[in-house]
Structure 1
Amino acid sequence: MTRPSRHPLWDMYREVISSADFVDLTHAFGPGQPRFSSFPDEERRLVMDFDRGDIAQAHRYSFVGQWGTHVDPPVHFVKGGRTIDELPVSEMLLPLVVIDISERVGRDPDATPTVEDLTEWEERHGQIPSGCFVALRTDWHTRWPDAEKFANLDQEGISHTPGWSKSVLEILLLERRITAIGHEQIDTDPGLAVSRGDSSLELFVLQQNAWQIELLRNLDQVPEAGALIMASWPKPKGGSGFPARAIAIVPR
């Protein structure tokens, strides 16, 4: 006779998680990748190498914290805001909501989400839950790792990339009380705003004590509702940003 399990988390893993699909939402980073225009490129060198007769291989990496798929804690824009080491591990596993504007972005690279997008999502799936992670799907990740295609500059040097909108962020952060956002582009703000030095939407997000992950990928492999996001990063004391690993757990 089988004894009843006394380990509900193990039961959940066996019954749900172990049979789920795991979708990697993270770009592999390296020198020459798309990056914010004022950031230096990554430098990488071998400190130990098998080909030199060393017993191991070890690299020395040099890059800004906001490198590749990365996490931005509040302190990135807000003096005195939470640093990376102050983000609790309880926020590293959250319900994942995906707002899909990829079709509109295909017609207009300057597209941003609208309140109607949120209304239609909630008509299909119910109210966006508090404490969740909301990702903006634009399919911009397909341009990786081409830096020129990612920036999408016109002849005047103006960037044409999608981004968030203030009206949507206000609902998500002030009314739905979500924990974090994420997107596929380099910036929270659309390219038109960033080109004129306007990063007010990123400031708004981080002022709400929320955090974000930039340069996500593969959101086209994740449903609008029902998945989880597992996001992790190193723990530099007082850190203002660092490469992150983000994974969607999608039930079959």
Structure 2
Amino acid sequence: MISRITELFFICISILIWAISPVGAVVSTTDNLTPLWEQMQDCRFVDLTHTFYPGIPHWKGDPDEKVETLYSYEPGNGTLGSGFYLQYYSLVGQWGTHVDPPAHFVKGLRTLDEISPREMILPLVVIDVHEKVAENSDYTVSMDDVRDWETRNGQIPEGSFVALRTDWSKRWPDQNAMQNMDPEGVAHYPGWSKEVLTYLFEDCNITASGHETTDTDQGTVVSQDQYPLETYILSQDKYQIELLTNLDQVPESGCLIVVTFPKPLKGSGFPARVFAICP
């Protein structure tokens, strides 16, 4: 296991060297990236993305997705037989596992098309608080949780993607379970804290963050139609991913995360395909 972690570490370093090297620079380890691809075939790929469809859990202000089949292999059920399969999708950008660019909350900051591919392959840090969330659904991650991670793994690396593991995604696809409302209509689900986010984005200079819930802020705050922590993240001109899943299947360090999404002009958000590459 140690040798595989070491091997993946050198793969990650090689990819990162390639990513930051100036155009035209000669880097002996990256003259040919095919060997890196070959080595990565022995790695474990973990999909961190929910499958989306009409009726899935979503933010309370979003309309449901609509899907219509326009063309089918053979005519029938109101479709034209064309020999191919084609569907029409109508959905908000923030649907399913999705990306929030800075402009989603802050006018004048970057939209989806302005996020660089260099920001889409990153070291993955997983801060695991799922046991504390099981005891307190309103739990917010603390600096003690971060320090515990750093005691085991070293300082959170600059440029990384930090994901908050709460295991809240195990409630998917039950909207009521995800919102976890009390009789007064107040939602109860975990979230980030300003202290931790300030440390991650300002001291560690991470590139992006993500979580399993529908919102950055804990449910009791969102129930007041307040989104201070999401506003904070996006105001740093960084992006976030919401509604991640399968974080229980990746270690807390030693993996890469790959975040992909379409490139709509001036896009305010879109479903994302996110996966981890692990030893």
TM-score normalised to the size of structure 2? 0.86
Quote the residue 2:34 is aligned against.
10
Quote the residue 2:18 is aligned against.
none
**Paired letter, 1:228:** L
Q: How far 1:146 moved relative to its partner?
A: 0.7
Q: How far 1:158 moved relative to its partner?
A: 0.2
CA distance in 1, matches of 2:56, 2:74: 27
Q: How far 1:198 moved relative to its partner?
A: 1.4
The answer as to 2:252 corresponding to 1:202 is no
Quote the residue 2:22 is aligned against.
none
The percent of aligned pairs where both chains have the same amino acid is 52
CA distance in 2, matches of 1:102, 1:182: 15
Quote the residue 1:73 is aligned against.
101
| Number of residues of Structure 1 aligned to a counterpart in Structure 2 | 247
**Paired letter, 2:246:** N
| Contact kept in structure 2, 1:112 and 1:165, CA below 8 Å | yes
Indicate which of 57, 67, 88 corresponds to 1:44.
Answer: 67
| Contact kept in structure 2, 1:230 and 1:248, CA below 8 Å | yes
CA distance in 2, matches of 1:8, 1:46: 43
The answer as to 2:24 corresponding to 1:24 is no
Q: How far 1:105 moved relative to its partner?
A: 0.7
Quote the residue 2:24 is aligned against.
none
Q: Cα deviation per residue 1:28-56 (whole Å; 9 max; x = unaligned)? A: 00100001001100011001012423311
Indicate which of 92, 97, 110 corresponds to 1:64.
Answer: 92
CA distance in 2, matches of 1:106, 1:18: 36
**Paired letter, 1:10:** T
Q: Give the match's secondary structure for 1:110.
A: coil
Q: How far 1:14 moved relative to its partner?
A: 2.2
Quote the residue 1:90 is aligned against.
118
CA distance in 1, matches of 2:228, 2:30: 50
CA distance in 2, matches of 1:144, 1:45: 24
Q: How far 1:107 moved relative to its partner?
A: 1.0
| Contact kept in structure 1, 2:74 and 2:83, CA below 8 Å | no
Q: How far 1:87 moved relative to its partner?
A: 0.1
The answer as to 2:62 corresponding to 1:34 is no
Quote the residue 1:219 is aligned against.
247
- For structure 2, the residue ranges without an aligned partner over 5 or more in a row are 1-27, 76-80
Q: How far 1:5 moved relative to its partner?
A: 9.0
CA distance in 1, matches of 2:116, 2:210: 17
TM-score normalised to the size of structure 1? 0.96
Quote the residue 1:119 is aligned against.
147
| Contact kept in structure 2, 1:5 and 1:11, CA below 8 Å | no
**Paired letter, 1:20:** C
Ranges of 4+ aligned residues in structure 1 off by more than 6 Å? none
| Contact kept in structure 1, 2:211 and 2:244, CA below 8 Å | yes
CA distance in 1, matches of 2:93, 2:195: 29
CA distance in 2, matches of 1:148, 1:6: 49
**Paired letter, 2:45:** F
Q: Cα deviation per residue 1:170-220 (whole Å; 9 max; x = unaligned)? A: 000010000000000000000010001110000000000110000000000
